[in-house]
Structures are given as C-alpha cells and as structure tokens.
Amino acid sequence: MNICDLGDIRLHWREDGDPAGAPVVFANSLGTDLRLWDKVIPLLPQGYRYIRYDKRGHGLSDCPPGPYSMGALVRDAERLLDALEVRDCVFVGLSIGGMIAQGLAIKRLDLVRAMVISNTAAKIGTAEMWHTRIAAARDGGLAPMADAVMERWFSRAFRQGPELAGWRNMMVRTPLEGYVGCCAAIAGTDFYTPTSGLTLPTLAIAGSEDGSTPPDLVRETADLIRGSEFHLIRGAGHLPCVEAPEAYAARLAQFLERVGHAQGCCGHDHPHNHGHHH
C-alpha cells in the first residue's frame, strides 16, 4: 500500500502499468475511492504509468476536519504529483475530480499537458443545494440520501444488477466529514472564467443517463475550452467508467494517442506524423 506523507495530510495512492511510462493520473468522484477505475485500467494500453489516489476524506487517505476548499483539493493533487516526480501528465478527473483537473490545469500547466474532464462542469449545482445536502448529511448521515444518489449515478438497468450494493455501500461508508467537506468545496467552486482561459487538449466525457451532471452541463464546460472534444456514452450514468468500461477505455486510449502522450522520439512534437517520413 502506498501512502504519501505531505506533512499536513497523508494520501493513499496506487500505481499500475509501466513505472517508466508517460503518466496518466485519475481523480475520483464524491463518495468513491480509487476503485472507481478498477474496470478501466486493465483495458487501457500498456506502457503508461497509471496513477490513482484517494482525495482527502475518502478511501484510505486521511480525513481532516472540514470544510475543505477546492484550493486544498487542488493543492493535494499538486503536492502528490510533485512528490511522485510527475510532469506533463494527462489528468483524468470525474465529477469533483474533474473540478480538481480544471483547478490543477489553471494553476500548474507544467503538471498537466492534457486533461479528460468526465461527468463534471466548471460549476456543479448551486451553493444552496450543496449546503442543504451538508445539513441533511450532518443531521441524518449518508444512508437516508443513498437511494436518491444511486438514481442520479446509475442507469435503471445497472441499478437492477448485483453491483449496485457495493457502490451504495462505498458511498454510505465515506467518512461523513470527508463527504461534507468535499460538498463544501463543490459549493464554493465556479471555474467558469478561469476554465474559459484554458487551451490545453481536452476531452470531455458525459453519460446520457447522468442525473448529477447531465450531458448538456458537461458540454457547456467543454465549450469553454478552445479545441476540446466532447464524447457522449449512451446508456451510462454519472460513472461511465463503471457502467461502460470498454467504451470508456477505448475513448480514453484514442485521446492518449491523439495527444501523442508517449515517451520516445516522436510522441511529443508531431503525433500526426507518426510513421510518415517525408
């Protein structure tokens, strides 16, 4: 088990693939840990360095008292990548993880050369909505809201399958302080203006059945970033990496290839000239 001690917080992280490969970093949604990506990682091309981590208050990372700011979540990611000597990664963030991706790209372009923002937006919901959720969670815990959350997360077909119980348990067992701490971070975030200044290669992924960040919301954020690509995964909800891992991995692999994310002679400068010697 990998625990990175950043001084004020210890984060749990994990590495798959080739430790010498070009880095691809994954950040999870609210109420999930790095197992969110379990189905996708084995389907991705060999030769990359795949790094995942549990954000503060989630999984096996520390859970300091909240509320958390988005700045703290971005700083956690930034310091983790610095500690792991990561430069020029492709950063894949889902939901709140996609907000972390935007914040990191805004702050440290040396760390992020391209990003995948999945089932996310520059602003998610309203501050009032999140503060209502925080109050409800503090009042009764996460269990009473779990069924409503599962309906927003997953398609009807998936909710009728055996796996739902595990994801529901993962969400309910998130430390209350970590969950509401991250709710506060989302409540305080509006990246509309800074994200509209970004120009790095970006793939936005949405799920047609997503009740948390519907496709139109994701597309609106993609449209802020010049030259971004938008991809809709049909039949999947808020966590398409769980419901449609093959489709998700295929689209991600295509993006990695398109941005020329590889070590070696030709990757960085002219990905489109691959194999064509003039």
pLDDT averaged per 10 residues in sequence order, the chain, 278 residues: 97 97 98 98 97 98 97 98 97 98 97 97 97 97 97 98 98 98 98 97 98 98 96 98 98 95 47 37
What is the SS3 assignment for 252? helix
How is residue 54 annotated by DSSP?
P
Q: Is the distance from CB of 215 to CB of 126 less than 8 angstroms?
A: no
Question: What pLDDT shows up at residue 80?
Answer: 98
CA distance 273 to 278: 9
How is residue 76 annotated by DSSP?
H
Amino acid at residue number 149: V
Q: Which pTM was predicted?
A: 0.93
CA distance 153 to 213: 9
CA distance 217 to 233: 14
Question: What pLDDT shows up at residue 270?
Answer: 36
CA distance 255 to 73: 25
CA distance 67 to 184: 6
CA distance 165 to 67: 28
What is the SS3 assignment for 272? helix
Q: Is the distance from CB of 196 to CB of 85 less than 8 angstroms?
A: no
End-to-end CA distance of the chain: 48
Question: What pLDDT shows up at residue 278?
Answer: 36
Structure tokens at 187: 């409540």
Amino acid at residue number 125: G
Tokens 């030769």, residue located: 47
Q: Is the distance from CB of 98 to CB of 92 less than 8 angstroms?
A: no
Residue 50, number of CB atoms within 10 A of its CB = 21
Task: Please give the distance of CA 138 from its chain centroid, rounded to a whole number.
Answer: 25
Question: What pLDDT shows up at residue 154?
Answer: 98
Question: What pLDDT shows up at residue 263?
Answer: 52
Q: What residues pair up with 25 in beta bridges, in sequence order?
A: 51, 91
Q: Is the distance from CB of 239 to CB of 233 less than 8 angstroms?
A: no
Radius of gyration of the chain (CA): 18
Question: What pLDDT shows up at residue 268?
Answer: 40
Q: What residues pair up with 114 in beta bridges, in sequence order?
A: 90
